[in-house]
Each structure stands twice: as C-alpha cells, then as structure tokens.
Amino acid sequence: MMHVSLRQLRAFEAVARLRSFSRAAEELHVTQPTVSKQIRLLHEEVGLPLLEQIGKKVFLTEAGEQLYATCADWLETWGSFEQSIADLKGIKQGRLRVAAVTTTKYFMPRLLGPFCAQYPGIDIALEVVNRDRLLERLLRNQDDLYVMGVPPENLDIECEPFMENPLVILAPATHPMAHLNNLSFTDIANEPFIVRERGSGTRLTVERAFQERNLLLKIKMELGSNEAIKQAVAGGLGLALLSQSTLGLDASQKEVAVLDVEGFPIKRSWYVVRPRGKQLSVVANAFLDFLRGHVQLLVPRS
C-alpha cells in the first residue's frame, strides 16, 4: 500500500499543470526546494518517475500522466470536504481565498481589515495578481471570489458590481492642458500615452476609447504597474488612463493632474466574480454580505 500525502499530491498537481517547479512553488507559497522534496518523496512512494526535467522544460512520464488524470479529482473532493467542515463550524472559523487585480491594492486592505476584526477566526489568503494571472486562477477555480474591473465576456461567470471605478486621464501637472476645461477627445488624441501591459483592464478600456472614435492610440511606453505609470506621467513622458482608485496622497499626486476631457471620467465599476453555479462556503457568503454592506469603506480617498 502506498502512503502518499496530500502535500505531495498538491505539489505534483501544481508542477504537472504549470510545467514548472518555480511557478508551482510560487502558487503554493513555498520554496522551490520544498516542492522538489515533495516530488522526490512521491517518486519514491510510487516507485516510478512521474516527472522528467530536460533543460528548463518539465514533462510527464506515462505514470505521471495517469496520476495527473486522477489527482485533480482527489484534490477537488478534498477541497469540498474542507469547505463542508468550515460550513459546519460556521463563520467563526474557516478560510477565505480571494484573488484580485493589482489596482485593488489601493482599497482592499481597508476592506479586509474591518472584516478580519469582525471575524477574527477567519484566515484570509489574498492573491494580488495581474489580469491574465487572475483569469488563469478563475479558470482553475482556485479561489472563492475574484475582484476585477472588467469581467471577461467569454466565460460562464456570475459578477456583481460593488463600487464605482471611474477612469480618468492623467497628465503632468506642468502640462499646458492641465488647467484647461472642457477638452475634447481630439485634444488629447495626439499626445503620447503610457499604458499597462496587454490584457490589463485599463489597457483594454483606453484602446476601446480610441477605436470607438477611429483614432490611433500613440503608445509611448508600456509599464507593468500603476505606480510606475504615475511616475512616468509625473516625469513628463506622456498621458495615461488610470483608475481613480490609484490616486492617493503619495508625493507623485502633486506632480500629476486629472484632465477635464469630454466623456471622462469613464464610469466603470469594481466587480466581485465567481464561476456560475459555484457553491460558496459560509465564509465566502459572509464576505459577500460584508462587501455589500460596507461599500463606504472602499470609497477611494481624494
């Protein structure tokens, strides 16, 4: 009889799915040597190699293919058991798993703090990732709930808006248009823009705004974070479309200005998303109810 641990199966499933020891370690919040050790122990218990690493590529052996085909079902069954136990314990205990896009870091802590104070026995795992990684997690049903600004249209999901997410045009405070009113969209169309990476919700929105007006978006620079974009705008490298949620009281705020442009701010919302038909735990439902009743905690500070 083989004695295989749940930790070994989770490590194997992650490596087999991601085809990477490093990405599996990142997802499981452990070190890469820890993942390698779990895989080695699993190999010893099974008695056959399950994974082969050639260069930087990871391949499944025949035995590995067979194990991977079944262990996902085992892990899902165990996850359902864990959820049932949490439900039996009630909302005083349990684990909440939330994945959110990077821009939510400006307000999610101010939401989770009061929630944790109200339910101190709940353990929260918050993953803050870019939109593409969040959609990967959503497809794999890795979390209880997902928070994003632009829900995907091609997935079978349920989404609920919970807070306004206006998008504004930022310019350097010294820009000639910074103190003008009632600017037309064509006034800004010839300006260079600094944008997020492809797939970002704000990137999709600014591209759509230009496409709807049959205008060409002049991309000066592509950056992977809102903070980097604000610094680039402050440095005079171009304009940017960002969520108003990103405008806090940091030093760069004094160096940028929100332009008064027709059609702006673009009215959007933040959404909480889950796969359609997903059975939420008592803890996840408690968080949803808290979210609906505490929107005032999430209003971005001006």
CATH of the domain at 49: 1.10.10.10
Is 112 domain-assigned? yes
Q: Tell me if 68 sits within 8 A of 12, measured CB to CB.
A: yes
Q: Tell me if 241 sits within 8 A of 205, measured CB to CB.
A: yes
CATH of the domain at 233: 3.40.190.10
pLDDT band at 82 (very low <50, low <70, confident <90, very high): low
Nearest alpha carbon to residue 270 among 167, 157, 120: 167
Is 84 domain-assigned? no
As for how many domains the chain has, the answer is 3
Same domain for 103 and 46, yes or no, is: no
Radius of gyration over every alpha carbon of the chain, rounded to an integer in angstroms: 23
pLDDT of 261 higher than 80? yes
Mean pLDDT, residues 192-221: 89
pLDDT of 66 higher than 90? no
pLDDT at residue number 205: 87
Is 85 domain-assigned? no
Q: State how far the alpha carbon of 168 is from the alpha carbons of 206, 262, 290, in Å.
A: 10, 11, 28
Rounded Cα–Cα distance for residues 244 and 302 (Å): 9
Same domain for 59 and 207, yes or no, is: no
Residue 171 domain boundaries: 167-258
Mean pLDDT, residues 69-77: 75
pLDDT of 297 higher than 50? no
Q: Which residues contact 241 (CB under 8 A, 6 or more apart)?
A: 167, 168, 169, 170, 193, 195, 202, 205, 206, 209, 266
Token code pair at residue 117: 């104070």
Stronger pLDDT, 93 or 260, i.e. the higher one: 260
Same domain for 141 and 209, yes or no, is: no
pLDDT at residue number 158: 92
Same domain for 157 and 273, yes or no, is: yes
pLDDT band at 135 (very low <50, low <70, confident <90, very high): very high
Q: State how far the alpha carbon of 296 is from the alpha carbons of 210, 256, 287, in Å.
A: 33, 26, 15
pLDDT of 172 higher than 90? yes
Mean pLDDT, residues 133-156: 90
Same domain for 249 and 174, yes or no, is: yes
pLDDT at residue number 191: 93
Q: Tell me if 71 sits within 8 A of 64, measured CB to CB.
A: no
Q: Specify whether the backbone of 253 is left (phi greater than 0), alpha (psi in -120 to 50) or beta.
A: alpha
pLDDT of 189 higher than 80? yes
Same domain for 107 and 234, yes or no, is: no
Nearest alpha carbon to residue 243 among 219, 256, 257, 226: 226
pLDDT at residue number 45: 85
Rounded Cα–Cα distance for residues 147 and 151 (Å): 9
pLDDT of 60 higher than 70? yes
Same domain for 145 and 276, yes or no, is: yes
Same domain for 63 and 115, yes or no, is: no
pLDDT of 134 higher than 90? yes
pLDDT of 249 higher than 50? no
Nearest alpha carbon to residue 32 among 20, 22, 42, 40: 22
pLDDT at residue number 1: 65
Same domain for 155 and 215, yes or no, is: no
Share the mean pLDDT of the chain: 84
